[in-house]
């Protein structure tokens, strides 16, 4: 991917995102919509995965048919809201290995604090897709990418549902080599670090917590 930021404007993505933003949307619908949108965004983020070909026989004749070149994939969820995006990608790429980065945001400083890190082996050989629905200040996303690079990852992409300009700028400064794919670039952050207009706290909305 060459662009640092890709906003997927597909009508299905935008329609589903509007339903997710609506505060009247139930927890069950929010979760289902997040899974569906994630699949559509994953389609975009995997667009340039290398293909090779394999000789097969259709019922009609032999052919050389395209098939994924077999670059291994690691999907990394930034806890906890990233977990809501795992199933969507795994339905498309069931053989992906899965890692987890646990960071919470200190509500005073807005800085990330690490509490968990577990990644699949051989990150250096894998396309790594880090998932977190909300790219807000970008502090935790940049810290998560730091951890992944420290564990050997070199080919990393970041998949989110909403991005704030502040978060995109932070990521571009810290990790200009990590392309971001999102469904929307929103207006900005409020004083508490929430994305505006946003959709509120993604974790609370998908897990029904407050
Ligand atoms: N995390 C969220 O869940 N929502 C925001 O708006 C910002 C960070």
Q: How far apart are the first and last CA of the chain?
A: 37
pLDDT at residue 1, rounded to an integer: 65
Q: For 39, phi and psi rounded to 5 degrees?
A: -65, -40
Q: Which CATH fold would you assign to the domain 5-207?
A: Rossmann fold (3.40.50)
Q: E strands along 136-209, which residues?
A: 155-159, 162-163, 180-182, 184-185, 188-189, 195-196
Find the 203 Cα to ligand 1 centroid distance in Å. 8
State which of 141, 196, 199 you would mutate to test the pocket of ligand 1, scoring each by most atoms of that ligand within 8 A of its C-beta.
199
Q: Which helix (H) or strand (E) holds 100?
A: strand 97-105
What is residue 53's predicted lDDT score, i.e. its pLDDT?
97
Residue with the smallest CA separation from ligand 1 atom 5 is 194
Tell me the pTM: 0.93
201 ligand 1 Cβ < 6 A: yes
Question: What contacts 121, CB < 8 A, 6 or more positions away?
Answer: none
**Which residue stretches of the chain have pLDDT < 70?**
1-2, 110
pLDDT 10s digits, 119-151: 999 999 999 999 999 999 999 999 999 999 999
Q: Atom 2 of ligand 1 has which residue's CA nearest to it?
A: 201
């Amino acid at each position: 991917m060459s662009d640092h930021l890709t906003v997927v404007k597909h009508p299905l993505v935008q329609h589903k995102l509007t339903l997710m933003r609506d505060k009247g949307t139930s927890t069950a619908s929010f979760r289902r919509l997040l899974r569906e949108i994630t699949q559509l965004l994953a389609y975009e983020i995997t667009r340039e995965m290398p293909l090779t070909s394999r000789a097969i026989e259709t019922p009609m004749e032999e052919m050389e048919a395209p098939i994924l070149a077999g670059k291994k994939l690691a999907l990394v969820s930034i806890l906890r809201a990233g977990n809501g995006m795992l199933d969507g990608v795994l339905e498309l790429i069931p053989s992906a290995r899965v890692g987890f980065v646990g960071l919470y945001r200190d509500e005073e400083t807005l800085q990330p604090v690490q509490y968990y890190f577990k990644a699949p082996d051989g990150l250096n050989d894998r396309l790594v897709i880090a998932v977190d629905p909300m790219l807000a200040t970008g502090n935790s996303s940049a810290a998560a990418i730091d951890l992944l690079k420290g564990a050997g990852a070199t080919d990393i992409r970041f998949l989110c549902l909403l991005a704030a300009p502040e978060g995109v700028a932070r990521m571009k400064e810290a990790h200009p080599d990590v392309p971001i794919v999102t469904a929307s670039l929103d207006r900005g952050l409020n004083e508490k670090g929430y994305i505006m207009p946003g959709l509120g706290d993604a974790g609370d909305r998908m897990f029904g917590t407050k």
